[in-house]
Chains A and B, each alone.
Chain A
Amino acid sequence: MTIWILIGGMAVLTIAIKAAGPVLLGGRELPPWATGVVALMPPVLLAALVVTSVFSEGQRLGVDASAVGVAAGGLLLWRGRPLVLAVVVAAVVTALLRAVA
């Protein structure tokens, strides 16, 4: 039962979070001062998401094999290689490091 409550609660909360901005603030022009802020939000949120998913586990900071794998994938992406290749290389490098460790 706990799991079904978790699923229902998370579904409702996620729908509400995604709807809040569009419902409350949509359909009108953004004031000019705000466009500069909005334009910078993608790099900021993505950078925060990447570093926290690589370097943290819960509330602990640390580096493990996956950081090396992600770095290898990132190098390929930087060189303009396809995303799917980069994620496969990231997974393979991580798996190999764990196999030998």
Chain B
Amino acid sequence: MNEAFRQGVRLGIPFSLAGFLISLSFGALAVQSGFTPLQAIVMSAVVHAGSAQFAGLSIVAAGGGALPGILAGGLMNARFLAMGIALAPSLPAGPLVRGLQGQAIVDPSWALANRGDGTFDRWQLMGSTVPQYVGWLSGTIVGALAGEALGDTDRFGLDAIFPTFFLGLLIAEMRDPRSRPVAAAGAAIALALVPFTPPGVPILVAAVAALVGLRR
């Protein structure tokens, strides 16, 4: 273990605590929607992507079928495509290792590992994903097992945690004043597209706002 990896682990811990609460509400909602506790837990273990899991769950729970659920989840995760492209030049190993290292991409790790000059610290990225994975899985287990007893988790305001979590990352980025106009543009593009596209697409399309970086 090197220093960057350990630093990543430390930076990931607050996000893993917040992730625990989000995945707790996912586990509870999943069993209330007809998942077995095992299904909820396996999904968090092999997908580990909050917004995609909620999207896929809500479609299947509404009787929409597996394929639409998979596509909705894939669209929510489409932003990881953009993040992977941004990360790629910072991964020096062979293609198989790079593909495995890419699995460490989750929003907080990716944002924290970015050095602000277009490069990423891959060890820090992987380090900060470790506690978040543990938090995500353990929250799901507690939520899935306690699910029926918890009732409607919206009562506890747990749905406010996910956006606040990302707001924390965004505010750290906004300390650089050059980020502010493009962040505002990305937000405006995403909101404008919400009524017209499936969920997830607005976030991916908002990435075009970063093209103003071509001028520098």
Measured CB to CB, the residues of A under 8 A from B are 2-7, 9-11, 13-15, 17-30, 33-56, 58-61, 65-66, 69-70, 73-74, 77-78, 82-84, 86-87, 90-96, 98-99
Contact = CB atoms under 8 A, between A and B. Distances in A.
B42 A19 contact: no
Q: Is the interface of B mostly helix, strand, loop or mixed?
A: helix
A87 B206 CA distance: 25
Given A27-B92, A95-B157, A22 B102 contact: yes
B191 A51 contact: yes
A35 B213 CA distance: 8
A61 B158 contact: no
26 contacts: A3-B39, A14-B49, A18-B80, A19-B102, A21-B85, A25-B88, A26-B89, A26-B95, A35-B118, A40-B213, A42-B114, A43-B186, A45-B203, A45-B207, A47-B183, A47-B184, A48-B186, A48-B202, A52-B191, A54-B163, A56-B191, A70-B163, A70-B164, A83-B14, A86-B167, A95-B155
Interface string B54-94: 00100010000111011001100111111111111101111
Interface residues of B, number: 111
A3 B173 contact: no
A23 B168 contact: no
Interface of B: 14-15, 17-18, 21, 34-35, 39, 42-43, 46-49, 51-53, 56, 60, 65-67, 69-70, 73-74, 77-89, 91-96, 98-103, 105, 107, 110-111, 114, 116-119, 154-171, 173-174, 176, 178-180, 182-187, 189-191, 194-199, 202-203, 206-207, 209-216
A22 B209 contact: no
A58 B60 contact: no
Contacts of A13: 70, 73-74, 77
Contact of A10 (B52, B116, B165, B185): B52
Contacts of B14: 82-84
Contacts of A45: 79, 82-83, 107, 186, 203, 206-207
Contact of B66 (A6, A20, A24): A6
A38 B157 contact: no
A70 B165 CA distance: 9
